[in-house]
Structures are given as structure tokens and as C-alpha cells.
A and B are shown apart, each in its own frame.
Chain A
């Protein structure tokens, strides 16, 4: 059991890293003007079929195998090729945080205690070779993700499915997982070891993509995965650096309400420099006029340049992704064991200078809650230690005096040297300046990125005070709060995310209770209330939620950016 827990934490590290890159990368075109708020942004005129969409990215689409991908909601490019049991709603803003059926006819029928989930497949589902998609293929696809040689996906299936912890995948264990039943070709039943009301969210991940057993080539499957979506892979060079996708003739739009699939071809060019991508998108010359990016934001300096150019500003999409950057305390380290010291720091923080350091008010929103400010997370607004826009130094001094630090306090803030404007020196120096006004001398300890990750995730090495960030695997309070504040998720000898090492019986119990709810709205309200309650402990000082701004080419139409991904949805755009 502990082994599983460790592996899970390791996987979550991978997740947070993936999310971090997604975050730095995610900037969705949507235009923050009124025009795009009404719906689709981009070039005027009705979207038409045809043309070639260019995707210019930093990160190559490596491991293009549904078993190996770690995605939120099925990913961007992967979602063009891989259909899943459920998927994210392809709509702008908050509506895009809803989970909707994809291959299945509904979001799944739960048993009364949410431990058994039953899905029925739609009629007329076919692979790129015309053969029918069966529920046994989905079972096989999930079982593959348990094989050691196809690792990389999220840890939830292993943790939740009965027998998942010990299952080695279908290559070693031909019998398969008993906890996934396929009574007929259209039905699939999952048996979980505990109630999980959010199973429909998990079913959006690419592991629920059908994989025909006869076509499975193991680790080589990523070179030509069999498409169930609107596009098939024609070329995959250099492990996903260059991809060419063409229409899958056997994909039937009648079975797929989510993917629009306007372009005839999609070319992915990755491994590009961030500045080059933005330069090419702003020039929008030649084929770049039909180009978008799914992982490259505008930085503050680029935003400053774009802001002065009306034509360019019209081609910027704005996206929100559930993500919070915050100051983390480890109350096991003095003086952070004293709630008054933690509260004093919360009062002293100058969010306006922190936000400027993060790229300004267009790229970051002030945060006073752990949960991102979106309804699907159950966001409840609270500000237990109001610092105002630029910090309340007087109140902070008062608290420090009560805590016996009337002569001031010298503390160390650990941060990374990554140039990400999230846990980086810019944020740390802004905090240093603000805390000085409250009589707190902040010494900065910048660590190289890997060293930083090792240090903050190790219970043994964890400093008392550091910059941290968190994004959830799906837009709900569960994957946001549980890893950070569930006392049973403290990992002594692995990657720990419960930085405060917070273990409160009533909080743990409430997490279990919410997981039983299959009404996602009801669950969201409870997550929000729980966050507000946890916030009183001052275990974190939320700083800001990032906003993603991305350029797109001048011929690109039908811009849709959901709050689930914060990224321009490549299944919706048209280039004609």
C-alpha cells in the first residue's frame, strides 16, 4: 500500500510539472473585448471546412500514446485523435468547465454509494480503419496504462480501481482487471474501492481511449496510435516534434457533439523558442496566418508591445486555468508554528507589486483563496486577513508585537530560479520589499529548479516558508484541496504536497463525505465551504491566479477558450 502511495505522489509531481508547463504555456485567444465575450472570437465570418491549421508549440507532443499522456480533460492535440468516455464541454469560459459525454451516452450511472460506475457507448462509433469501437477496447486501453513500459498517466485509476494497486498491465497479466467489466460490446462497468463522485471527470483523461488489442504494438504504439477522433496521425517525426494530422473518414460528426473539426489538415510544429512563436504569430505571414499555439503565453514585455498595436491586440485570446500561486508555510519550522506570525505575513503582502512582478493585472488576478475563482471549483470568496491592494503593514506589525516580535523578524523565503514568474526571484523580491514595511526582513534563498522541487516536496528537507503553486487535474475542488490538506496524503518518504503537513480529522472526514457526492454542483459548494474553513488556519498566503494571453494568426476563426484548459481549443478553430 505505501508503495502505491509513493508512486502516486511521484506521479502527482509529474502532474504538477506538466501543469506548470501547461500553465506557463496556456494562454488562450479569446480577446478580452466585448466581442469575444459573446462567444466565438477571431476573424469575422462563418467558419468553413477546409484549409490547414498550423500549431506552433514549445513542447513537443511526446509519448503520443493514450496510455502515457497526462492530460487535463483529454488534452489539446491528443483530443483531436483520441476520443474518451467523457470529455470537457467545448465552450467559452465557465460553460467549458462542464464535463460532457463523448463516446458514452451519458456521464455514467453511479451506484448509490458512487463505487460502481456504468457507461453505455453510443451507436456508430468507428476507428480510422472502419472497424467498430467496443467497450472491451476501452477496458484494454485502461489496462495498458498499468503496464510499466507505458507509464506517465495520472495515478487515479491505479488508486481507485479495485485491484489496481497490484495490477501489472495486460502484457504480464493476460487475465486483465476484474474491476472493469464488459458485459456486452456497448457496456463497461467500473468497480471502485471507495466512493468517487468525480469519476466522470477522470473519464475525460486519455486512458479511457479505446485501443484495439489487435493493433497494439506496445511502446511503439505512439508512432501510429489508431484514431477514434476526427483526425488520424499521418506523420509523427522526432517523437512528436512534427505531427501531421489528416481527416479520419470514419469519424462521424453525428456521434460527436464536441469536436467541430473544420480544417482538413493539422500540422504541429514544436520545439520552437517562445519568442519565435510569438514573433511568427504577430507577423502572421504565409502559413502562419492560419497558426495558433496551445502552449506559449505572451510575456509582460510582449504584452506591452501588443497593447500598443490595435491590430495585434485584436488577435489576442485570454484564458483562465484553475491555478493558484501562493506562499506556503511549514508550521513545523519556527517561527511559522505561531499562527500570528503567519497572519502577520498574510496582512503584510502587497498583492499589487506581486502581480506586477507576475506580469501585471492582465496576466494575473489577486488571490485570497486557495481555490481558483471559478464556479466549478466551488469558489467561495473569502479574505480572512485583508491586506488590501498594497498590504496592511500596521496590522502586521501589531500581530508581530503580540507574537513577541516587536523588534521585527528575520525569516528566509525559499524560491526557485526558474524564469517562470511564478515561484521565481521576481515574485520573491516583490515580497521582500512589501514585508520590509512591516518590519520583516526577508532573506531570499533561490534554488535551481530541480533542487527547489526536491526540497519543497520532501518532508525532511522542507523549509518553513516558500513560494508554491498548484493546479488541479480537473476543474473541481477535490483534486485541488485533497492533495494539499488531506492529512492522510502526507508522504513521509516521497513527494509530499501537503506542505503544511496539516492533519485535521474533521477536514479529512469532510473530504471523504464530499467524495461520495455524485451531484457535482453540490460537491462544488461543499469544496468551497471547506476551503473557506481551511483558510482560517493561515497555512498559505494565496497570491495570484494567472491569466493566459495568446496570439493567433489573422485567418483563424471560431476561437473558443474554456476555463477548464485556458487554451484555444484546436478542435473548434477554422482557418477558412
Chain B
């Protein structure tokens, strides 16, 4: 069994994750404790976001109902009670001034923050792969044009353009979709550059040449030969894009062009909370801590994916592998 394992590992070609590699990927991902913890955190947050209506029903609250009686109106609307008004009815306390339930806003906010980030990432990956592949496989002219467009895209300051675009689009357009679109459309160049470089490297490999010589069309080559090999770098990059996009949504909402009220998002909550850091610290700390944990978990997970997919990191994983092998050996005995 150990021989089979070793054989598999030795047989791993650079940047190629064939069917047998998928299992190997999972195994190597699982081997990293940090990645496992991060994945559990992410899975938990996704579950929370999906179950938001259930969770708030369980608490008996909803994210948009005002509770004027729960704040001290004369003192600027600071929540009554300790720790921002935490109680059996309001698990994380209430929002200053409005008295809206913070737990309900947090779990509904997770939907927006995660949803926008994932949708924007998918868009970035899709555009990046298509443009990168086209540039890598196309003729010189196509490559030149697409590469220059990519360069321009890289040079575009994301926040500035996003601010401008979000300010001119009519307010009727659904904001979460708009933000995902804007972020996705502006920030695809990184993926595209990686895909193009990888495509150019793959193009000169024997099996691709063989496919070309046997008369396969460009699309067939792209689909059958390139995409499977591109999966590793693209998945790795995407895993790192998600947390980046969460922070972009938070920053846009923070700057006042993001999610529209009363829809909660973590970024919008941070915007409103920043002035309350002294008077009602929990109002700021809860969404800030969640954003921090989410971004950290996704980044660690992304790093884990990268490590698991990158054959060159085998040596770095050596310790883990040895441990794994010896345990397996022990198990076999």
C-alpha cells in the first residue's frame, strides 16, 4: 500500500491533476491541520449564512425591526444593559440608535458578504480563464491585444473605478448583484495572467503537441488538454480571491457605495460601528472579529489548497507525509 502511495507521488507530473490526483489532493489537504481547521470554519460560516432565517427564527428576532425601548435615547442611543445589550432575547445585543438585533443582522450579513464574494470570484475566474486561454492559444495579434487589455485591467485602481461605477448606476439595480458584477469585471486580470503563462508553458509540452498534430482544434485542446492542467493554479488563486473580495465588499460598503440599507452586510455594519468603538465596543468588535476570522480562514484554506496542489511543496510537506506514512504503516502492521 505504501508502495502504491509512493508510486503515485513520484508519478505526479507538474501542473497536472488527473483523476487519481483528486484523491491525492484531498489527502494532502487533509494532512494540513491548519487547512482542516480553516475549512471547518468556512463550512460553518456558509452553513450559518444559508440557515440565517432558521437561526433568527430560533432566536425569535429579525434583522430589520427597530426596538427604540432598548437604547438610551438621551445618551445618543447607546444600547441599554451590559455588553451592548446582550440578553436571552438578543444573543449578541442590539445596534445603537435603532435597537435592531445584532445576531440577526450578523447572520443575514454573512449571506451578503459571502454571497457577493463568491459570486464575484466565480466571475473573475471565468473571465480570467477565458481571456487567459484565448491569449495563450491565440495567434500573436490576439495575444497582444488581450495581454494589453489585461495590463490595462491590472493598472485600473479597483476601489476608484468601483466607487465611480457604483455611484452612477441607478439605485433600483439590486446592490449585491451590482457589487459582485463590478468587482468581478474589474479584477480578473490576475487570473488571466496566470492562465496565459500556464497555457504558454503547457503548449510546448509533448502531449499537447501530440494533440495538435493529430488535428485537434484549439477549443478541443483547450477543453481536453489545458483546462485539467490549469485547475490547480486557478483553484489556488480563486481560494485567495474570495477573502480579498470580502474585504472589497466591506470597504465599498464602508465608503457608502456598497449594500443599501436596511440590508445588513458586515462591511455596512463596520461603517456604522466605527464611531461607536468607545461607547459601544461590542457593536464594532463582533462584525470586525467575524470578518477577520472569515478572511483568515479563507486565506489559510487557500494557502492549504495551494500547498496541496503544488508538487514543488512536497518537500515542505515532507514531515507531514512521513508522519502519515508511518501512521499508515503502523496501521497496517
Contacts and interface: CB of A to CB of B under 8 A. Distances in A.
Interface in B70-106: 71-78, 96-99
A495 B53 CA distance: 46
Given A359-B97, A429-B261, A446-B171, A301 B76 contact: yes
Given A300-B97, A429-B261, A430-B98, A352 B68 contact: yes
B187 to A, nearest CB: 23
B74 A361 contact: yes
Interface in B36-87: 64-66, 68, 71-78
B222 interface: no
B275 interface: yes
Given A301-B279, A302-B275, A433-B64, A352 B171 contact: no
A304 interface: yes
B260 interface: yes
Contact of B96 (A301, A308, A361): A301
A444 B263 CA distance: 11
Given A301-B278, A429-B262, A357 B73 contact: no
Contacts of B76: 299-304, 307, 359-360, 362-363
A353 B75 contact: no
Interface in B265-304: 275-276, 278-280
A444 B260 contact: yes
Contact of A361 (B65, B73, B262): B73
B98 A429 contact: yes
A380 interface: no
B311 interface: no
Given A275-B275, A362-B76, A419-B256, A356 B261 contact: no
B66 A353 contact: yes
Interface string B11-30: 00000000000000000000
B64 A356 contact: no
A307 B96 CA distance: 15
Given A362-B75, A429-B261, A444-B260, A304 B68 contact: no
A492 interface: no
B261 A444 contact: yes
Residues of A contacting B: mostly: helix
A473 interface: no
B156 interface: no
- How many residues of B sit at the interface, in one of the four size bands? 20 to 34
B167 interface: yes
Contact of B275 (A301, A390, A448): A301
A353 B71 CA distance: 10
Given A275-B275, A299-B275, A304-B280, A357 B260 contact: no
B75 A357 contact: no
Contacts of A300: 76-78, 96-97
B74 A362 contact: yes
Interface string A418-460: 0100000110111011100000000011111000000000000
B75 A307 contact: yes
Interface residues of A, number: 37
Contacts of B171: 445-447
Interface in A360-387: 360-363
Contacts of B275: 275, 299, 301-302
Residues of B contacting A: mostly: loop
B14 to A, nearest CB: 51
A551 interface: no
B66 A433 contact: yes
A279 to B, nearest CB: 10
Contacts of A362: 73-76
Interface in A297-355: 299-305, 307-308, 350, 352-353, 355
Residue among A301, A363, A430, A448 facing the most chain B CB atoms (10 A cut-off): A301
A417 interface: yes
Nearest to B175: A446
A300 B272 CA distance: 11
Nearest to A274: B275
Nearest to A426: B97
B261 A428 contact: yes
A425 B260 contact: yes
A362 to B, nearest CB: 5
B32 to A, nearest CB: 42
A305 B260 contact: no
Nearest to A298: B76
B73 A360 contact: yes
A308 B72 CA distance: 12
A430 B66 contact: yes
B74 A446 contact: no
B95 to A, nearest CB: 10
Interface string B224-267: 00000000000000000000000000000000100011100000
Contacts of A445: 171-172
A531 B94 CA distance: 39
A297 to B, nearest CB: 11
Contacts of B262: 429, 432-433, 444
A225 B304 CA distance: 69
Given A302-B275, A430-B98, A446-B260, A360 B72 contact: yes
Given A299-B275, A303-B75, A433-B65, A360 B97 contact: yes
A353 B94 CA distance: 14
B276 to A, nearest CB: 4
B94 to A, nearest CB: 11
Nearest to B75: A307
A242 B64 CA distance: 45
B66 to A, nearest CB: 5
A308 B281 CA distance: 14
Given A432-B262, A444-B261, A360 B98 contact: no
Contacts of B66: 350, 353, 356, 430, 433-434
A425 B167 CA distance: 15
Contacts of A302: 76, 275, 279
B98 A353 contact: yes
Contact of A448 (B65, B98, B167, B279): B167
Q: Top 8 closest A-B pairs, CB basis?
A: A300-B76, A304-B279, A303-B76, A304-B78, A304-B76, A307-B75, A301-B275, A361-B73
19 contacts: A300-B97, A302-B275, A304-B76, A304-B279, A305-B278, A352-B68, A353-B68, A353-B98, A355-B73, A357-B97, A360-B72, A360-B75, A360-B97, A361-B73, A361-B74, A390-B68, A426-B97, A426-B98, A432-B262
Given A301-B279, A304-B78, A360-B71, 17 more contacts: A303-B76, A304-B75, A304-B280, A350-B68, A352-B68, A356-B77, A357-B97, A357-B98, A360-B75, A362-B75, A417-B256, A429-B98, A430-B66, A432-B262, A433-B262, A434-B66, A448-B167
